[in-house]
Amino acid sequence: MTAETGTAGAPLVRLEGVGKSYGNVIALKDVSLEVAPGEVTCVLGDNGAGKSTLIKIIAGLHRHDEGVLRVHGEPVTFGSPRQALDAGIATVYQDLAVVPLMPVWRNFFLGSEKRRAFGLLDVPHMRCTTRDELLAMGIDLRDVDQPIGTLSGGERQCVAIARAVHFGAKVLVLDEPTAALGVKQAGVVLRYIVQARRRGLGVVLITHNPHHAYPVGDRFLVLKRGRSLAYHAKEEISRDELTALMAGGAELEELAHELESVSGTAAEELSAEARTLGAGGEGRP
Ligand SMILES: Nc1ncnc2c1ncn2[C@@H]1O[C@H](COP(=O)(O)OP(=O)(O)O)[C@@H](O)[C@H]1O
Ligand SMILES: [Mg+2]
């Protein structure tokens, strides 16, 4: 089964020439994209490129007004996020909707609480399941009773991902999950994205950082002012090419040269200073 082996199959989600306007503003125009099981599709682009608009359409928050959105091959227009969720599409937003003072397990089951007879919460089951699911994703939380607010941003993202996997998501949409994180924590989140892919989910990763996208991505869509600038499978594009597309190529090269010459001059000045000091015998006492 694909869910176990993580091999790529038929697309879970497919956008064909999708467009969306907000009044006079064309937020998205003629964008096509495929999300296959066991694959990570990265959507890259600067601020205002249309990334959030794209995921809001997939997540059922906004409706597209051009093109076709297919889920499992069927054309759909979601009327609400609930409909998208029922179709197996789980979205993790950057500003996670968590209740900071509630325990991790409570947040894990928020809105989908497990109950026993008379509507009583089945706390032991929820605790245990939360711990097991997090462990299965490689997250070893000492205490699932600690308030989720005490976890780092990266850990919280990971809990949200594990939650989506547990509740049967087929497609996981992540809006800039690494944007607010340091290098190490971003690495942790990227590792869980790879875990979700291994479990057969189709992942849509929104980011403006090609260095986060490239190692985990199978396909890359680069948006610019609402339009598709490039759409490539990994074997068709190198990390440098992806970075150049994002940065507007020439501008970045220019900056690199500038920085090089600045630091080169600084290095020359330093070594010259060191020579003078050495010759004058004015070293530190
Ligand atoms: N609700 C909205 N109403 C009007 N304009 C919007 C709305 N949402 C987004 N836009 C505009 O659509 C464009 C794309 O925005 P967005 O999808 O948020 O880009 P990104 O997430 O890549 O930064 C921008 O020009 C933005 O100002
Ligand atoms: Mg955005």
Q: Tens digit of pLDDT for each residue in 29-67?
A: 999 999 999 999 999 998 889 999 999 999 999 999 999
CATH number for the segment(s) 2-237: 3.40.50.300
Residue nearest to atom 2 of ligand 1 (CA): 22
The pair phi, psi for residue 164, each rounded to 5°, is -60, -40
- CA–CA dist 128, 131 (Å, integer): 5
User: Strand 202-207 and strand 40-44: pairing?
Assistant: parallel
Q: By C-alpha distance, which of 221, 256, 260, 276 is closest to 45?
A: 221
The ligand 1 atom nearest the CA atom of 22: 4
Cα(51) to ligand 2 centroid in Å equals 5
Shortest CA distance to 58 belongs to which of 81, 30, 92, 26? 81
Nearest protein CA to atom 25 of ligand 1, as residue: 48
Pocket of ligand 1 from Cβ distances under 6 Å: 22, 25, 27, 45, 47-53
Lowest mean pLDDT among 45-49, 78-82, 96-100, 128-132: 96-100
Q: What is the pLDDT of residues 196-237, one digit of tens each?
A: 899 899 999 999 899 999 999 999 999 999 999 999 999 999
Q: In what order do the strands lie in the sheet with 40-44?
A: 74-75, 66-71, 13-22, 25-35, 227-233, 219-224, 40-44, 202-207, 171-175, 89-92
